[in-house]
Every structure is written in structure tokens, then in C-alpha cells.
Amino acid sequence: MHEITNKVGFISDMDGVIYHGNKILPGVADFVNWMLDNGKKFVFLTNSSERTPHELSMKLERMGLSIPAGCFYTSAMATAEFLHSQRPGCTAYVIGEAALTKALYDHHIYMNDVNPDYVVVGETRTYSFEKIEKAIELVNKGAKLIGTNPDITGPTEKGVMPATGALIAPIEIATGKKAYFVGKPNPLMLRHGLKKLDCHSDEIAFIGDRMDTDIIAGIESNIDTVLVLSGVTTMDDIDKFPYCPKYILNGVGDLLN
């Protein structure tokens, strides 16, 4: 693995690569300490929009990893930046957690449940039929439908659970309108990661656990890809796709072997 360990830095997915739920995965601490000891640049990306960078930093602190909030970039942040670039000062009706609302507020995008420019959907524990009804009404009135990420499911300590792609599907079906998804595999996420690291694509490797979001995003961003089998993908799944990662590992700790 000498070729990949010579990279200037790493962009890494989190769910299924660094942890499952509140359980850190084997080899992660060694990998993070190796990056710190060797002066590697790194940023952790997550398609989840549930937590702020500070909350992610605190979560990893509880697992024994000390990583500053500035090392995280979320689909909520990418969504806020995208909407701000598209229509500065726009408004949104949001189905999601406080971290998504905060990211939008940080870009002066405010809440509106009457005539918003956008309906934005992210992961949430407070999903309800009432909110779906409101979202459908607003999209039918002309609001644009945005998803923080297209993931249908995500790994947790309790097993695989529904993610944004599943939550937004009833709105798409009922309105006949397809959502625009900002998170991976949209290359926007990785481009933001490269910008944060101030690196070129050939200086970085991208580590992920999903063929359909992580690996394709890396390939389309011309970044060397590392698939780890610690998340949702198995060896048998890889042949189902018409593309392949550059490296396949059981987990991030194997990078050091």
C-alpha cells in the first residue's frame, strides 16, 4: 500500500468507514493517529445531514478520537452552499434535523412553510405524514425538491435503516417531480473536500464503503478510490457495478499493513 500511503491527504466517508452508529470500527484509531503523526491532510465527509461538524467532533471524542470540527464536511453544509449559490436569500421548507436547519441559516436561507423556493429533505427521526403532505403541497405549488443525499439506507448499530432517498421517495412519487440530490455521488461533495484541503485530485485518495455513492463519486472526480468492506458493501456486490475501485480493503486499518 506504499503508493496510497504516499498521498498528501485523504478524504474519507464516515458511516461504515469510521463507525457504525456509536461504535468505532477496528483499525480506525490507528489510521487516524497515523495521519496525524505523518502530517497528512484529511477531511471526513458524510452524506448524513443529522449532525453539525461540532457534534461529529464530539461524537468521535466520545469514541476516543480527538478530531477538530473543521475536519468535517456534511451533506447539510453542501446543500446550504448549493442553494446559496443558486439563489442567494432563498427560503426553504425543511424536513430534517437541527443541523440541516443551522447549515441553511448560516447561509442566510430561512424557513418558510407558505411559499418557499425549495423543499429540502434530509435524515430525520421526526418524519411524519403531516410533513409529507405539506411538502407535496409546496412542491405542487412550484417549490423545487432538494435531497441532501440519495442514500436509500444507512448502516447503524441496529442494522440497516432508511435514509434520505427512502424518506423523499413518497414526495417524488406523489408529485411526479424528481429531487436534485446534493450529496454523493454528486461530485460537489468531493470538490468541496478538495477545496478544504487545498489539494489537487491526484494528491488525494478517497475512502468509502458504498459503490453507488462513494466509489462512483471518486471516479467521476478523478480521485483514487479505496473501497472498505466494513460498511454495506461485500465482495460479491462489487461485480454488480460497471466500474471498480482502485483498492479494496477490509477496513481503513489495512492501509497501514
151 catalytic per annotation? no
Of the listed 13, 117, 224, 254, which one is catalytic? 13
Of the listed 15, 151, 214, 224, which one is catalytic? 15
Which neighbouring-strand residues pair with 208?
Answer: 227
CA distance 213 to 220: 11
97 and 49 Cβ atoms separated by less than 8 Å: yes
254 catalytic per annotation? no
CA distance 91 to 113: 9
Nearest in space to 232 (alpha carbons), one of 136, 159, 173, 179: 159
The DSSP secondary structure of 175-202, one letter per residue, reads H--PPEE-STTSTHHHHHHHHHHT--GG
Annotated catalytic residues are 13, 15
